Amino acid sequence: MILLSFVVRKVDSKLLPDVYRLERACFSRPYTWFYIKTLFRRSPETFLVAVSGSSVLGYAVAEVKGVLGHLISIAVDDRHRKRGVGEALFAELSKALSSLHVRKIVLEVRKSNLEAQQFYGKLGFKQHGLIIRYYENGEDALVFSKQLLFFGKADRFKEPA
C-alpha cells in the first residue's frame, strides 16, 4: 500500500465546490449546495477538510450547542477510505470542539449503514438511542455519542477509557 500524505485544516470558500462534489459522490441523499454553504458560515471553526495537494480527500463538520457537539457529517472519497483520513479528520475535529469547550459529541447514523456504525465504534462512540423514521425515506437512525474529557490545552486531550 502506498503511504497517503495529506493535511487536515479548516475549509475555505474555494474548497466548498470540491466538498459538495464529495458529498454528492459519498451519499445517496446528499446535502444541498445551500446547506453546505450554510454549514460553512455557521461552523467555520468546526468544518474541516483533508487535502492532498489540491485534492479534497474528505471532510468533517460539526455544530456546537453549549457543551454539546453535533457531528453533522464525515465523508471520505471512496479511493482513500481505510487509510486514516476519517480518523485524522475526527482527531482534528475533536481538538477544535475541545477548544470550544465541548464535552460530548453526538451523531445520527442510518440503521442500515453498518460501515459507518463500525467506523464510529472504532472511534469510541457508543450507541445509546434510536429515532424512528428519522430519514426522509422512513429509515430509522441510531444515535451515538462520545464523552470527551480534556485536561489543559486543547491539543493535549485524553479520552475516557
What is the CATH number for 102? Answer: 3.40.630.30
Per-residue pLDDT of the chain (161 residues; tens, 9 = 90+): 455 789 999 999 999 999 999 999 999 889 999 999 999 999 999 999 999 988 999 999 999 999 999 999 999 999 999 899 999 999 999 999 988 999 999 999 999 999 999 999 999 999 999 999 999 899 999 999 999 866 445 444 455 54
Q: What 8-state DSSP symbol labels residue 117?
A: H
Rounded to the nearest 10°, the torsion over CA 119, 121, 127, 131 is 0
Confidence at residue 151, expressed as pLDDT on a 0 to 100 scale: 45
Q: Retrieve residue 16's grid coordinates.
A: 466548498
pTM: 0.87
Confidence at residue 52, expressed as pLDDT on a 0 to 100 scale: 92
Confidence at residue 122, expressed as pLDDT on a 0 to 100 scale: 94
Confidence at residue 143, expressed as pLDDT on a 0 to 100 scale: 97
Containing 146, the helix (H) or strand (E) segment is strand 141-147
Task: Domain count for the chain, please give it.
Answer: 1
The answer to whether residue 2 is domain-embedded is no
- Domain span including residue 88: 7-158
CA distance 113 to 117: 6
The answer to whether residue 1 is domain-embedded is no
Q: Residue 130's beta-bridge partner residues? A: 142
Q: Retrieve residue 48's grid coordinates.
A: 474541516
CA distance 137 to 145: 24
The answer to whether residue 89 is domain-embedded is yes
The answer to whether residue 77 is domain-embedded is yes
Provide CB contacts within 8 A for 65, sequence distance 6+. Answer: none
The answer to whether residue 108 is domain-embedded is yes
Total length of the chain:
161
The answer to whether residue 124 is domain-embedded is yes
Confidence at residue 153, expressed as pLDDT on a 0 to 100 scale: 52
The answer to whether residue 39 is domain-embedded is yes
